[in-house]
Structures are given as C-alpha cells and as structure tokens.
Chains A and B, each alone.
Chain A
C-alpha cells in the first residue's frame, strides 16, 4: 500500500471544517465483573479470574452488578444526562475468539444515560461545550496474545493465546454528538475533552481511568467537510488511541490524511483505522463495506433496568465535588491566579498537588515540586506525571524534612531521586544515602573554624563588620561537609565565631 498524501495542517484548516466525534470506553473499578462475581483486578495470572459466566460456559447466566449500574448512572448525572427510566440490555452478535459467548452484552437502543454535555476548558481558557449523545453499559472482551510472526501483532501470527480475565469487566461507553466548528483547534478540543472526561470520572471514584493500562480507551471519529459547505464528509474511526497526546496526534494526522484523499478527488473510505504510537500515524483496519449486521435483540437472560426517580436522586446526592467546582475552590484556597491554575491543570498536576497538600504539605511547595522538578523528571522518563513512582505522601514527607531543616533543597532533590529509583521511603533514602543535613553544631563549628583559618583575610573582613563576606566561608563549609550542612545555621555560626 502506498503511503497516504498528507496535507499541511494549516492548509487543511484553511480549506476544510473538521467534524469530530469521540467514543470513550471506561473500565469501571468495581470489585467484580459486570455480570458475575469474578474480580476485575489488573495483572493476575491468565484465566484465574474467570467463572462459568464470564467464560461463556454452556448453561451459565449473567446477573447485573448493582454497583456498576450505580456507577453508570453517576457518570450520566455528572455529564448532565437524562437517566432512562427503563431499558434493557441487548446482545450484539458477532464471532470473535476473545469474546466468550460470541455476542457482547451491551445496551443498544436503550442506553442508561442520554443527552448530556461536558464543558471543556482549552489551554487559553476558552470553554467549549461538548454534547454527549449517550453513555451505556457493556462488558469488556478477553485479551489475545499473538504468537509467531515478527511483530507480536495479529498479522503473521501462527496462533493466538487467549486469556479471559478481562472478559466481562464492566465498561461504560461514552459517545459524544458530532463536535462541529472546532477548526484548527480540533486536536486540542479532542484532547481537552478526553482529559476533562478522565478528571470527571476520576473524581467520581468509579474508575482508575488509566489510559496506559487500558482502563480508559478512546476511539476518534473524524470527517472533513469543505469549508462552509455544510456537506458532511465520510468518517474514519481510529481505534487504539491510548494516551492523551495520541488523541491529539490522531486527530491531527487524520485531518491531514483526509484532506490528502479529498484533494486528490477521491473518496474517504469508511473504515476502522488503528493508531500507531511509534509513528503517530494511523493504518487501515477492517473496511466496512456495509454496516455490519450485529443482529441486536433484547438480552433474554437479563430483565429490564428501571431506575426509580428516588434511586436516581439518591445517587445524585452521592456525587462528589466535580472537577470544575473543585478547581474554583482550590484557586481560591491556594490563592492562585487564572494562569497559575491553568499551568497546574495543563501540567496535569492538580490532583497530585492536592493530594500532597492533603498529606500535610504547603500548597506552594507542593505546586513547585510537581510543576517543575517532577514534571521534568516525568518528561525525561517519558511517562505521565501520575505514573512517576513517587506518591504525594512521599513528596509531602520530603517537603516536611526541608521545612524542619533536616534537608535543604539540594538534598531534597537527591532524596526524591532516590525514591524515584525505588530506594524506598524518603526517610530510608536519607539514611541509606547519608543525606541528613549536618546540624551538629560541634562538627560545624570545627568546619567553620577551619575555613576561617584557611581564609584569614575574609575572616578579618567579617570581624570588621562586613557580614556579606561570610558567603565565601559558607561556601567553603558547605564544600567541606559535602553539602549536608544547613547553610543558614553555618552563616549564624560564622558570625558568632567572628563576634560580629
């Protein structure tokens, strides 16, 4: 297949209007699966979290997890949706080896939540309202491992190995309406929406929403229409978009690719495409010649779900402070400017800072650590900030050690480095690396006297009242103590010894 012609992004935006649509799957962090009592934990030995129901054994039957329904309703309410007073599950029939029953139990034309919206703030503070079409419940599939062939991918594999631990894990699929009129900001809007949705769902405590672990997955639908024409283009559906950055890049790439196809006078093919992390491109998947016939029908093994108004209101009462409410509160409490708040949000550090503050640290210190030093570390390591192997509580402890004078800033960074390297808790790193500030006056006085003796002219100046000259001696003492002295205390001692 020849490489697609890509049109320069600015050129695309000049001549075409992108229309976005986003489908996000969220794995709920319930204790058990959607329809059976098996655990949902990530990373267990293969096929050890399965039972007759989620393995699709003959005769086994599903029973709906009440907590999953409540989570779905809470997500719907947080997205300002209407909650359906009555609805059934349906069977989506198609054969695929990772699906034990060869049908997926899903909500089809009777989703639990419809017609909502989410207001999304872009980096410059612009607010875009994204309309939500529906949020519905379904179950996840198993995982296949493709053996043989070069890439470990499905193509060229000799055979596959199936693990059904994930099969039946509750999923909520949240589908936007078409998002028009975003122009050149389409990639940013897509990313901002997914970020906002992630923060919202995280605040509800119903999912880990970890894109890197697959507990949040995004499909990007995109089409272009010639600018101002209002003619809807053919859309592509890009799957496998597994990070916030990828969401942005997938939209950008598809816009350039669609424009290339349209400029050549060809038709965009309605198809599923797969995002390639390494190249930030998409590759063609299965071509949908006709819309697939999934032969949906109401799931006879499950009875309808009819949430009463009382139940829905009770659940509304359990909604926590939502991200935008929280942001407003935090801005006030921490006394942040709009720009400072935005930096914090854009660095994806708000939750981490808040957790660090909750663990006892002052907000200013916590902010500075996460937004600068730790952000750099995350960047260097190529991971997201929340994937850094340091917890807010650990950072709060480091900050505490600085506040009490047991560490200075330089040592504190070394302690943080130690934690990141897996050397243990901050106190253990301090002990193992011998990083405590030398605060034993006896040892320091000896070092001060030694430094004063080594530089008699400077000592004389200080004795003569030129206190500013003490800096040179402080430097010498710090060098002699390998940076482990408390500089403030050293300065005090120098002045004391010089009787100044």
Chain B
C-alpha cells in the first residue's frame, strides 16, 4: 500500500456518516446511520485497493473520450415556455417556483 492511501477497515464512524449525510442533504434516520456505517466500512475496505497500485507518475483520466474544444455557436435555441418550465414544480406562483423559506445566506 502506498503511503498516501487511507487505512482500510474500521475507518468510517457513525459521526462521519452523519456529517456526510448532512453535506448530501439526506435526513438519514438513526437506524440507517448504523447500517450505512457498517456497510460503508466494508465497501471502503474493498475500494481502498486502488491504493495498492503504484501510480504516482500516471496521469488521471477524467474523460474516457479523447475530445477537446467542443463548442456550440452563440446562437439561440428555443427555450421552454413558462408553463413547460413549471410543469413539474411542486409549487408555483406568479410564474416562479415557490419554495419554502431559505435559511442560508445569499450566495
């Protein structure tokens, strides 16, 4: 195992799962926390195998298709109608999507 690879097994705690679930906006239940922590531990133990490969000088592959510079011309395409845009909305008002109050700050 190369030095930078994470230790496998016993690595992920309930607290960590809870933190990750918050980041991912998942209101997981207490029961799920326990189940997921156990399962993720097993899975992480298995996937940590990638660390066994000596790959320091290997470039990463983010795209499996060797394309570059794919552009579109700056030309208008038809937009949806407002009705289409809102067709799936759980709630709408005055042509806008209606959502519960936002607690965070303006970005």
CB under 8 Å from chain A, chain B span 25-74? 25, 62-63, 65, 67-74
Complex CA gap A46/B65 in Å reads: 38
A306 interfacial contact with B, CB 8 Å: yes
Q: Mark A288-312, 1 if CB is under 8 A from B, else 0.
A: 0000010101101011111100000
Judge if A5 is at the interface, Cβ distance under 8 Å: no
Set B23, B82, B104: member contacting A46, Cβ < 8 A: B82
Interface assignment of A433: CB less than 8 Å from any CB of chain B: no
Decide yes or no whether A95 CB sits under 8 A from chain B: yes
Asked if B3 is at the interface (CB within 8 A of a chain A CB), the reply is: no
List chain A residues, Cβ under 8 A from B72: 37, 63-66
Does B106 have its Cβ within 8 Å of any Cβ on chain A?
yes
Contact A47–B70 (Cβ < 8 Å): no
Number of interface residues of A (CB under 8 A): 61
In chain B between 64 and 107, which residues have their CB closer than 8 angstroms to a CB of chain A? 65, 67-82, 85-86, 93-102, 104-107
Find chain B residues with CB under 8 A from A30 CB. Answer: 74
> Do the beta carbons of A96 and B86 come within 8 Å of each other?
no
Which residues of chain B come closer than 8 Å to A285, judged between CB atoms? 105-106
In the complex, per-residue mask of A81-109: 1 if CB is within 8 Å of any chain B CB, else 0: 00000101000000111110000000000
A38 and B79 within 8 A (CB): yes
Asked, given contacts A303-B67, A304-B63, A306-B69, whether A31 binds B79 with beta carbons under 8 Å apart, the answer is: no
Question: A88-B62, A162-B96 are known contacts; what are 20 more A-B pairs with Cβ within 8 Å?
Answer: A47-B97, A48-B95, A55-B80, A63-B72, A65-B74, A66-B73, A67-B73, A95-B25, A141-B107, A154-B104, A154-B106, A160-B98, A161-B94, A163-B95, A285-B105, A286-B105, A297-B62, A298-B63, A304-B68, A304-B69
A interface, CB within 8 angstroms of B = 30-32, 36-39, 45-52, 55, 63-69, 86, 88, 95-99, 141, 144-146, 148, 154, 157-164, 239-240, 272, 274, 285-286, 293, 295, 297-298, 300, 302-307
Chain B positions near chain A (C-beta within 8 angstroms): 23, 25, 62-63, 65, 67-82, 85-86, 93-102, 104-107
